[in-house]
Each structure stands twice: as C-alpha cells, then as structure tokens.
Chains A and B, each alone.
Chain A
Amino acid sequence: MRAVQWTGVNEVSTGDVPDPAIEQPYDAIVKVTASVTCGSDLHLLGGYIPFMRHGDVIGHEFLGEVVEVGPGVRDRRVGERVVVSSFIACGSCWYCRQQLFSLCDNGNRNPAVTETLWGFAPGGCFGYSHALGGYAGSHAEYVRVPFADVGAFPVPDGVEDLRALFASDAAATGWMGAADLGEVGPGDVVAVWGAGGVGQMAARSAQILGADRVVVIETDPYRRAVARDQLGCDVLDPQDALGDALLDLTAGRGPDVCIEAVGMEASGATGPLAALDKVTQLARVQTERITPLREAIYHCRKGGRVAVLGVFAAWADRFPLGALMNKGLTLRGAQMHGQKYIPTLLDLMARDELAPEYLATHVLDLEDGAEAYRLFKEKDDGCLRAVLRPGGV
C-alpha cells in the first residue's frame, strides 16, 4: 500500500510499505479516509524526538472504515465509519479504568525507552516514534488499530468526515486542557497560548464549558485572525505588551486558567531568556523552548490553574518555580485521553456546538504528503492543518 514515511530530519515522502495485518486478537484494520497533520508531527520531523527509524509511517489523527476485525473484537463491525483515538490503550489496566487512557500500562510496546527517560512509560501512539510503541501511522491507505473496541468510535451519520476527524486528537486534547486539566467553569477567564489546531480547540472547549472570556495568544497574525473570526475570542500578540494587555482584560486579576498549546518549538520570543533557550536547545543543554509556559505561569492569577498541552521531550531551564510555588498555582499536563473524550466530542459535533472542520484548510491526496507538511510547517497559504485523503481528494 502507499503511505507517508519519515525518511530523515525534515524529510517525508510517500512510498510503498507492506499492508498491515491483524496481529493481535483485538486488532482491527481500518481503511483510512482522512488523516491530518498535527503540530506533534513537526517535533518528530524536526528531529526533536530522535526515536524515528528511516521508513516509519507517520500520522496519528484519523478517520476511516473498518474493513477487518480480529477474533477478539466484540463491538466494532466491518463497514463502520470510525474515528480513532491517537493514543493506544488497552482498556483494562488500572490507568485505563481511571480513564487515564494515555497512561495505559499496556499500550506501549517499547516501554523501556520512556521508562528510562521519564521514570514510567505512558501508552502508545500511532506513528509517533519507537519511544511511543513503534506503531505504523495513519497517513496510509490502511492502518492496524490495536484494542479496536477501546479506541475506535463509530461516527454518527450526520457528522461529516472533516468534522469528526478532529475528535481523534486535536479536539480531544483541547477538551482535556479546558475540562479536566484546567477545570474551566462559568465565570472563568481563560488564556490560551498557541492558535494551532490544539489551541483553537482548547479555546472553543473553554467557551462550551462556560468561560466568561477566552483570550488566544499567538505570534502568527493570520492564526490570530482565525481565532478571532471563527471563535469570537480576544486575541493578543505575545510580543505586544502581553502582561499589560492581560491585566487590562481581567481588571488586574490575571486569567483564572492558562493553557499552553505551543510545545517545545516556541518561536517569536525576544529577549535574553529566549535567545538563551535557542542556543541551549541547539546545544542540547536543554531540549525545550518554553517561553509560552513561562508566560502562562507568570501571568496566571494567584491560585490559578496552568495546563500544559504542548509536547515536551525532556528538560527545560529557567522554569519559573518561584512564581508557581508562591502564587499557589496548580500545574498539570497530559497526553490526551481520547477514549474518554471522543463520545462527548462526537455528541457536541452532532449538535453543531463543536465544528472544527474550519481547521482543515488544505485537503490533499496521500501522494502529496511532503507538500502537506511543507504547507503546514511553513503556515503557507494560511494553512492551519493539512488533511490527506488516500484514494483522492
């Protein structure tokens, strides 16, 4: 079959790979109908998560049709249109029973790598390096879905492909940030750093959860405009007196909830700390550039909540521990627990409350994988997310 493969740092191409087959009793094979680029892929492509092997198939946010099920699959049926959680979880370990699906004890086939890096191994993820299980990704004609009864969800008839697609990862991540990590409720002022797919979904989720006001902080002017026009959020440029603007917006209180949705490649920041970050990241003295997280912690109100949705790989310097401790903040992060949120999200989508299809600014054929990533990475032509459709657009 054809699939988009990682072939080196900042190199992807569409090539031939073997068709997937049922390997475990609980597997399903899904014929992919839409699979989308994610900001997380940029960290992989850029070589910031160096556990990729030449030829690995990438992609983890997808939707398709079940074409084969293993003998242990009870609920999923051939022919169903399904959206699949990007994280792979067994559904039966202690973490899965707590609905902390991305922390599944049994989802990652290579746990030793992340046990060594992080102390314990989170679950596995499609197309996200051998550190997260070495599973083939979804930018392909077909993909093997382990624990299909747990991770694949039938899409209601009225919900179109390009809407349901984002329940797989971006919307689930944003919802987790607002609902679970940030505990957003009525009356809250919520600030979101980053207006990519994840930040936009965090902002929309905060609105749905009753936030009084949502402000999106983004370096890219086009993406700021999208957040303003599509969601009706306030928008700020972080380089334009951010502190004053946030104080003004909240009449001196500071945002109740701050959500970081940028990740380890934050750009645009100026000043000595930002310059130091860039140098130390290149030299691998630290692995992340964390300007937005520093800002989130600094500007958050006393006793507020800070959620980290952006992906980070290892360690970061000059972390504002003093502000965190003395202001009594709660800091939480997670990879998204898709299996917990997808039913809620599909329901919101069916009621037109959540309509993320505007993120799909570019729809391309699977053969155009390299062009999809160029558009997405360079934010060319107003690209927010590029969707790949095997079998043609």
Chain B
Amino acid sequence: MRGRLLAVAALGAGAATAVVLRRGRTALDAPGRGTLAVTVALTADEVDARATGLDDELGALLARARRTPAPGGRGTELRVDDDGHDRAGTRQTLRLLKQQLETGSTMPPDDLSGRPPTPQGLALDAVLRAAGREGRL
C-alpha cells in the first residue's frame, strides 16, 4: 500500500512537473513561436454565420485571426499572432472560441475551489489551475 501511494505521488508529481516545465518553456519561447492555431470544423461561411453570436472577447479574437481553409474538408484554420504577452490567456480564449463556434457553448476548466485541501490534492489543484491555460495547443 505504501509503495502504491508513493507511486501515485510520483506520477502525479510527474504530471505537475510536466505542466510547470511546459509553462517555463512557454515563457521562454513566448516571442519566438509566433502563432497559436486551431482548426474549427466549419466552412468560412459557417464561421461568418456564427461570428455574429460571439461575445466581445471571442469576437475580437476571431477578428484578429487569419483564416485559411483546412485541407480535406476539415474546416477552417484559425491562426492568431502571439502578441508577446499573456500567451496562455490567448491559448485558452482560442480554445473557448473553437468550442463556441463548433458547439454553441463553452466548457471552461472544472473548478475545484471549495473542496477541502488534501496533501495529494494540492499537486492536482496546481495542475488543474494551469490546465485551462497550458497544454500543447
């Protein structure tokens, strides 16, 4: 049992480290990588039709995005220049924009505030706090 708990802590910590490392790298290469991109499974016309219903933040991001048709009928590629600050915030807004355009609603990261703190939970909380803003997108 004790071995199992240690093992759990190791994988949990591993994931936390991965997210933190990624965040470190993100900060370092923020000006370098240039763009963030997603593909939405909609034609250019469909994107236009749905753009009217977007809130200000998502609408502004869509207006900033360069649009190209994705190959093979995969929809439309949206590319946003990383303006050098808050890359993580832009990334998350882009995710929400894709969700809103494709599904008509957004699903922000789940919120664990209000749960009693536990030792293992602390590492997980840190991972999840970053989860909306990190990742490979």
Contact = CB atoms under 8 A, between A and B. Distances in A.
Interface of A: 9-10, 24-26, 46-48, 50-55, 72, 90-94, 97, 105-106, 109-113, 115-117, 119-121, 130, 133-135, 146-147, 281-284, 287, 313-314
Given A50-B120, A93-B103, A94-B75, 7 more contacts: A25-B104, A93-B41, A106-B103, A111-B135, A130-B127, A134-B128, A283-B7
Interface in B97-137: 98-99, 102-105, 107-110, 112, 115-116, 118, 120-121, 124-125, 127-128, 130-137
Contacts of A121: 135
Please classify the interface of chain A as helix (H, G, I), strand (E, B), loop, or mixed, using the class held by over half of its residues: loop
A10 B115 CA distance: 20
Contacts of A9: 1, 4-5, 8
Given A112-B131, A113-B127, A54 B115 contact: yes
A92 B103 contact: yes
Interface in B37-83: 39, 41, 74-75
B4 A53 contact: no
Interface size class of B (residues with CB under 8 A): 35 or more
B87 interface: no
B116 A55 contact: yes
B134 A93 contact: no
A106 B103 CA distance: 8
Interface of B: 1, 3-5, 7-12, 14-15, 18-19, 22, 39, 41, 74-75, 95, 98-99, 102-105, 107-110, 112, 115-116, 118, 120-121, 124-125, 127-128, 130-137
Given A26-B103, A282-B7, A117 B136 contact: no
A106 B128 contact: no
Given A47-B4, A47-B7, A283-B7, A116 B108 contact: no
Nearest to B118: A54
B116 A54 contact: yes
Contacts of A116: 15, 18-19, 22, 134-136
A53 B11 contact: no
Contact of A97 (B12, B41, B103, B124): B41
A374 to B, nearest CB: 16
19 contacts: A9-B1, A9-B8, A47-B5, A50-B12, A51-B12, A51-B127, A54-B121, A90-B102, A92-B102, A92-B103, A94-B39, A106-B102, A111-B137, A112-B132, A113-B127, A116-B134, A120-B136, A130-B131, A146-B107
Contact of A287 (B3, B11, B104, B110): B11
A135 to B, nearest CB: 8
A27 to B, nearest CB: 9
Contacts of A119: 136
B135 A53 contact: no
